[in-house]
Amino acid sequence: MTTSQQTAATLPAFPRASRVLSTTTFEAYRGITAGIDGWFSIPAVAIWDALLSFQAEQSIHGHLFEIGVWEGKSAALMAMHARSGEKLVLADFELKPKAIRRALSSAGIGEGVEVIELGGDSRALHMYPIHPECFQKVRWMHIDGQHSARAVSSDMALANQLLAPDGVLVIDDFFSWLYPQVTEAVLRYVRQFPDDFTLFLCGYNKAYLCRTHFAHRYLEFCAQELPEALSARGVESTLAKTTYPAEMNTFGIGPVFQDLTRRGPDWEPDMLRY
Protein backbone atom coordinates (compact mmCIF):
# COMPACT_ATOMS: atom_id res chain seq x y z
CA MET A 1 0.00 0.00 0.00
CA THR A 2 1.37 3.44 -0.87
CA THR A 3 1.44 6.27 1.66
CA SER A 4 -1.46 8.09 0.01
CA GLN A 5 -3.55 4.92 0.00
CA GLN A 6 -2.85 4.46 3.71
CA THR A 7 -3.88 8.07 4.42
CA ALA A 8 -7.10 7.64 2.47
CA ALA A 9 -7.88 4.41 4.26
CA THR A 10 -7.39 5.84 7.75
CA LEU A 11 -9.08 9.21 7.19
CA PRO A 12 -12.72 9.16 8.26
CA ALA A 13 -14.85 10.19 5.29
CA PHE A 14 -16.88 13.29 6.07
CA PRO A 15 -16.15 13.78 9.79
CA ARG A 16 -18.91 15.90 11.27
CA ALA A 17 -19.47 18.03 14.35
CA SER A 18 -22.66 17.14 16.18
CA ARG A 19 -23.87 20.70 16.90
CA VAL A 20 -25.42 23.35 14.66
CA LEU A 21 -24.64 27.00 15.31
CA SER A 22 -27.47 29.31 16.36
CA THR A 23 -29.71 30.56 13.55
CA THR A 24 -31.33 33.43 15.49
CA THR A 25 -29.51 36.24 13.66
CA PHE A 26 -30.19 34.67 10.27
CA GLU A 27 -33.92 34.50 11.01
CA ALA A 28 -33.95 38.12 12.20
CA TYR A 29 -32.07 39.21 9.07
CA ARG A 30 -34.53 37.37 6.81
CA GLY A 31 -37.24 39.51 8.36
CA ILE A 32 -35.64 42.77 7.22
CA THR A 33 -33.75 41.96 4.00
CA ALA A 34 -36.69 42.42 1.62
CA GLY A 35 -36.96 46.06 2.68
CA ILE A 36 -33.37 46.90 1.66
CA ASP A 37 -32.33 47.37 -1.96
CA GLY A 38 -29.13 45.65 -3.05
CA TRP A 39 -27.38 42.45 -4.04
CA PHE A 40 -27.17 39.69 -1.43
CA SER A 41 -28.61 36.26 -2.19
CA ILE A 42 -30.06 34.12 0.60
CA PRO A 43 -27.46 31.32 0.16
CA ALA A 44 -24.71 33.95 0.52
CA VAL A 45 -26.49 35.36 3.59
CA ALA A 46 -26.58 31.85 5.07
CA ILE A 47 -22.83 31.33 4.47
CA TRP A 48 -21.99 34.71 6.03
CA ASP A 49 -24.22 34.04 9.00
CA ALA A 50 -22.68 30.60 9.54
CA LEU A 51 -19.11 31.93 9.36
CA LEU A 52 -19.89 34.95 11.54
CA SER A 53 -21.59 32.68 14.10
CA PHE A 54 -18.51 30.46 14.04
CA GLN A 55 -16.35 33.54 14.74
CA ALA A 56 -18.58 34.45 17.70
CA GLU A 57 -18.41 30.93 19.07
CA GLN A 58 -14.61 30.92 18.71
CA SER A 59 -14.37 34.35 20.45
CA ILE A 60 -12.85 35.92 17.34
CA HIS A 61 -13.08 39.69 17.83
CA GLY A 62 -12.34 42.61 15.54
CA HIS A 63 -13.84 45.26 13.35
CA LEU A 64 -16.11 44.75 10.33
CA PHE A 65 -15.30 46.62 7.13
CA GLU A 66 -17.14 46.93 3.83
CA ILE A 67 -16.07 48.55 0.57
CA GLY A 68 -19.18 49.06 -1.60
CA VAL A 69 -22.23 49.54 0.59
CA TRP A 70 -24.96 50.77 -1.76
CA GLU A 71 -28.06 50.89 0.51
CA GLY A 72 -26.65 48.68 3.25
CA LYS A 73 -28.08 45.24 2.42
CA SER A 74 -24.95 43.25 3.33
CA ALA A 75 -23.86 45.88 5.87
CA ALA A 76 -27.09 45.20 7.81
CA LEU A 77 -26.04 41.59 8.44
CA MET A 78 -22.58 42.79 9.48
CA ALA A 79 -24.29 45.22 11.88
CA MET A 80 -26.30 42.39 13.40
CA HIS A 81 -23.11 40.45 14.11
CA ALA A 82 -21.07 43.41 15.40
CA ARG A 83 -20.36 43.34 19.12
CA SER A 84 -19.59 46.00 21.70
CA GLY A 85 -16.18 47.63 21.21
CA GLU A 86 -16.09 46.81 17.50
CA LYS A 87 -16.25 49.26 14.63
CA LEU A 88 -18.46 48.84 11.56
CA VAL A 89 -16.67 50.72 8.78
CA LEU A 90 -18.72 51.40 5.65
CA ALA A 91 -16.87 52.85 2.67
CA ASP A 92 -18.44 53.80 -0.64
CA PHE A 93 -17.58 56.04 -3.55
CA GLU A 94 -21.02 57.65 -3.28
CA LEU A 95 -22.39 57.09 0.20
CA LYS A 96 -26.16 56.98 0.59
CA PRO A 97 -26.30 57.93 4.29
CA LYS A 98 -30.10 58.04 4.59
CA ALA A 99 -30.64 54.60 3.05
CA ILE A 100 -27.71 53.12 4.97
CA ARG A 101 -29.00 54.46 8.30
CA ARG A 102 -32.45 53.10 7.51
CA ALA A 103 -30.95 49.65 6.86
CA LEU A 104 -28.85 49.78 10.02
CA SER A 105 -31.75 50.88 12.17
CA SER A 106 -33.89 48.00 10.88
CA ALA A 107 -30.95 45.69 11.67
CA GLY A 108 -30.68 47.16 15.17
CA ILE A 109 -27.09 48.10 15.84
CA GLY A 110 -25.73 46.75 19.13
CA GLU A 111 -24.71 48.95 22.03
CA GLY A 112 -21.05 49.97 21.94
CA VAL A 113 -20.70 49.40 18.19
CA GLU A 114 -19.18 52.41 16.43
CA VAL A 115 -20.42 52.99 12.87
CA ILE A 116 -18.00 54.89 10.62
CA GLU A 117 -19.07 55.99 7.13
CA LEU A 118 -16.37 56.93 4.65
CA GLY A 119 -17.12 58.51 1.28
CA GLY A 120 -14.77 58.41 -1.70
CA ASP A 121 -12.71 56.10 -3.87
CA SER A 122 -11.56 53.00 -1.98
CA ARG A 123 -8.12 53.41 -3.51
CA ALA A 124 -7.56 56.38 -1.16
CA LEU A 125 -8.56 54.52 2.02
CA HIS A 126 -4.97 53.74 2.94
CA MET A 127 -4.46 57.47 3.56
CA TYR A 128 -7.39 57.77 6.01
CA PRO A 129 -6.84 57.69 9.81
CA ILE A 130 -8.99 54.54 9.86
CA HIS A 131 -6.07 52.67 8.29
CA PRO A 132 -3.74 52.69 11.33
CA GLU A 133 -6.74 52.32 13.67
CA CYS A 134 -7.82 49.11 11.96
CA PHE A 135 -4.36 47.74 11.14
CA GLN A 136 -4.56 43.91 11.46
CA LYS A 137 -7.77 44.27 13.51
CA VAL A 138 -10.54 43.56 11.03
CA ARG A 139 -12.23 40.18 11.48
CA TRP A 140 -14.72 40.51 8.60
CA MET A 141 -14.07 42.44 5.40
CA HIS A 142 -16.25 42.55 2.30
CA ILE A 143 -14.92 43.90 -0.99
CA ASP A 144 -17.86 44.86 -3.22
CA GLY A 145 -16.83 48.22 -4.69
CA GLN A 146 -15.59 48.87 -8.20
CA HIS A 147 -15.36 45.61 -10.13
CA SER A 148 -12.24 46.39 -12.19
CA ALA A 149 -9.17 44.19 -11.66
CA ARG A 150 -7.22 47.30 -10.71
CA ALA A 151 -9.68 48.25 -7.97
CA VAL A 152 -9.95 44.67 -6.66
CA SER A 153 -6.13 44.39 -6.47
CA SER A 154 -5.97 47.68 -4.63
CA ASP A 155 -8.81 46.70 -2.25
CA MET A 156 -7.04 43.39 -1.57
CA ALA A 157 -3.82 45.24 -0.80
CA LEU A 158 -5.79 47.28 1.75
CA ALA A 159 -7.33 44.10 3.15
CA ASN A 160 -3.84 42.66 3.49
CA GLN A 161 -3.01 45.54 5.83
CA LEU A 162 -6.25 45.42 7.81
CA LEU A 163 -7.27 41.78 8.17
CA ALA A 164 -6.71 40.21 11.60
CA PRO A 165 -4.78 36.93 11.88
CA ASP A 166 -8.10 35.06 12.33
CA GLY A 167 -10.31 37.22 10.08
CA VAL A 168 -12.21 36.49 6.86
CA LEU A 169 -12.05 38.47 3.63
CA VAL A 170 -15.05 38.11 1.29
CA ILE A 171 -14.93 39.23 -2.32
CA ASP A 172 -18.06 39.69 -4.39
CA ASP A 173 -18.64 38.48 -7.93
CA PHE A 174 -15.96 35.79 -7.85
CA PHE A 175 -16.56 33.42 -10.79
CA SER A 176 -19.14 35.79 -12.24
CA TRP A 177 -19.36 35.68 -16.04
CA LEU A 178 -20.03 39.40 -15.99
CA TYR A 179 -16.78 40.28 -14.19
CA PRO A 180 -14.07 37.74 -15.15
CA GLN A 181 -11.44 40.32 -14.20
CA VAL A 182 -12.51 40.00 -10.53
CA THR A 183 -11.67 36.28 -10.54
CA GLU A 184 -8.37 36.98 -12.30
CA ALA A 185 -7.43 39.72 -9.81
CA VAL A 186 -8.27 37.55 -6.76
CA LEU A 187 -6.37 34.48 -7.98
CA ARG A 188 -3.43 36.58 -9.11
CA TYR A 189 -3.20 38.32 -5.72
CA VAL A 190 -3.36 35.03 -3.82
CA ARG A 191 -0.68 33.57 -6.05
CA GLN A 192 1.49 36.65 -5.49
CA PHE A 193 1.05 36.60 -1.69
CA PRO A 194 0.48 32.95 -0.72
CA ASP A 195 1.76 33.58 2.82
CA ASP A 196 -0.87 36.27 3.40
CA PHE A 197 -4.06 34.80 1.96
CA THR A 198 -5.60 31.39 1.32
CA LEU A 199 -8.80 30.97 -0.65
CA PHE A 200 -10.61 28.46 1.54
CA LEU A 201 -14.13 28.62 0.09
CA CYS A 202 -15.97 29.87 -2.96
CA GLY A 203 -19.55 29.74 -4.11
CA TYR A 204 -22.80 31.60 -4.60
CA ASN A 205 -20.89 34.42 -6.28
CA LYS A 206 -18.34 35.06 -3.54
CA ALA A 207 -14.76 34.16 -2.60
CA TYR A 208 -13.80 33.58 1.06
CA LEU A 209 -10.18 34.08 2.07
CA CYS A 210 -8.34 33.99 5.35
CA ARG A 211 -4.79 34.20 6.60
CA THR A 212 -2.80 31.19 5.46
CA HIS A 213 -1.74 30.38 9.03
CA PHE A 214 -5.41 30.18 10.08
CA ALA A 215 -6.79 28.38 7.03
CA HIS A 216 -6.87 24.98 8.75
CA ARG A 217 -9.52 26.29 11.18
CA TYR A 218 -11.88 27.62 8.50
CA LEU A 219 -11.30 24.56 6.30
CA GLU A 220 -12.19 22.33 9.22
CA PHE A 221 -15.33 24.36 9.88
CA CYS A 222 -16.38 24.07 6.22
CA ALA A 223 -15.76 20.32 6.11
CA GLN A 224 -17.40 19.47 9.40
CA GLU A 225 -20.18 22.02 9.87
CA LEU A 226 -20.97 24.22 6.89
CA PRO A 227 -23.49 22.00 5.04
CA GLU A 228 -25.49 21.40 8.24
CA ALA A 229 -25.28 25.10 9.17
CA LEU A 230 -26.69 26.03 5.74
CA SER A 231 -29.40 23.40 5.95
CA ALA A 232 -30.47 24.79 9.33
CA ARG A 233 -30.86 28.11 7.48
CA GLY A 234 -33.05 26.55 4.80
CA VAL A 235 -30.29 26.33 2.17
CA GLU A 236 -29.59 22.79 0.94
CA SER A 237 -26.17 22.63 -0.75
CA THR A 238 -23.31 20.42 -1.81
CA LEU A 239 -19.87 21.15 -0.39
CA ALA A 240 -17.17 19.95 -2.78
CA LYS A 241 -13.44 19.39 -2.73
CA THR A 242 -12.82 17.74 -6.06
CA THR A 243 -9.03 17.46 -5.99
CA TYR A 244 -6.13 16.91 -3.59
CA PRO A 245 -5.42 19.73 -1.13
CA ALA A 246 -1.85 20.03 -2.38
CA GLU A 247 -3.24 21.04 -5.75
CA MET A 248 -5.86 23.51 -4.52
CA ASN A 249 -7.19 23.59 -0.98
CA THR A 250 -10.45 25.42 -1.71
CA PHE A 251 -13.94 24.15 -1.00
CA GLY A 252 -16.70 24.92 -3.45
CA ILE A 253 -20.29 25.29 -2.30
CA GLY A 254 -23.30 25.27 -4.57
CA PRO A 255 -26.82 23.90 -5.15
CA VAL A 256 -27.34 20.20 -4.37
CA PHE A 257 -25.36 18.05 -6.81
CA GLN A 258 -25.90 14.29 -7.28
CA ASP A 259 -28.01 14.23 -4.10
CA LEU A 260 -24.83 14.63 -2.02
CA THR A 261 -24.15 16.92 0.92
CA ARG A 262 -20.42 16.49 0.51
CA ARG A 263 -18.64 15.58 -2.70
CA GLY A 264 -14.99 14.53 -3.10
CA PRO A 265 -13.03 14.06 -6.34
CA ASP A 266 -14.63 12.33 -9.34
CA TRP A 267 -12.38 9.33 -8.68
CA GLU A 268 -13.28 9.17 -4.95
CA PRO A 269 -16.54 11.07 -4.40
CA ASP A 270 -17.02 10.02 -0.77
CA MET A 271 -13.67 11.35 0.45
CA LEU A 272 -13.11 14.97 1.54
CA ARG A 273 -9.48 15.92 2.15
CA TYR A 274 -8.37 19.31 3.41
Residue number, 67 or 222, with CB nearest to ligand SAM:
67
Shortest separation between residue 91's beta carbon and ligand SAM, angstroms: 6
Pairs from 217-223 (Cβ < 8 Å, separation ≥ 24): 217/58, 217/166, 218/51, 218/168, 219/249, 219/251, 219/274, 220/274, 221/51, 221/54, 222/251, 222/253, 222/274, 223/14, 223/15, 223/251, 223/262, 223/272, 223/274
Residue number, 121 or 220, with CB nearest to ligand SAM:
121
DSSP string, 192-245: H-TTT-EEEEEETTEEEEE-GGGHHHHHHHHHHHHHHHHHHTT--EEEE--S-T
Region label for 205, one of left (φ > 0), alpha (ψ between -120 and 50) or beta (otherwise)? left
CA 153 – CA 40 distance, rounded (Å):
22
Shortest separation between residue 235's beta carbon and ligand SAM, angstroms: 18
Q: Which amino acid is at 58?
A: Q
Residue number, 70 or 218, with CB nearest to ligand SAM:
70
Binding positions for ligand SAM, rule: CB under 6 A: 38-40, 67-70, 73-74, 91-94, 121-122, 144-146, 151
Shortest separation between residue 144's beta carbon and ligand SAM, angstroms: 4
**Which residue sits closest to ligand SAM, CB atoms considered?**
38
Shortest separation between residue 265's beta carbon and ligand SAM, angstroms: 34
Residue number, 69 or 222, with CB nearest to ligand SAM:
69
Shortest separation between residue 147's beta carbon and ligand SAM, angstroms: 8
Residue number, 144 or 225, with CB nearest to ligand SAM:
144
CA 231 – CA 208 distance, rounded (Å):
19
Residue number, 174 or 214, with CB nearest to ligand SAM:
174
CA 108 – CA 105 distance, rounded (Å):
5
Shortest separation between residue 155's beta carbon and ligand SAM, angstroms: 8
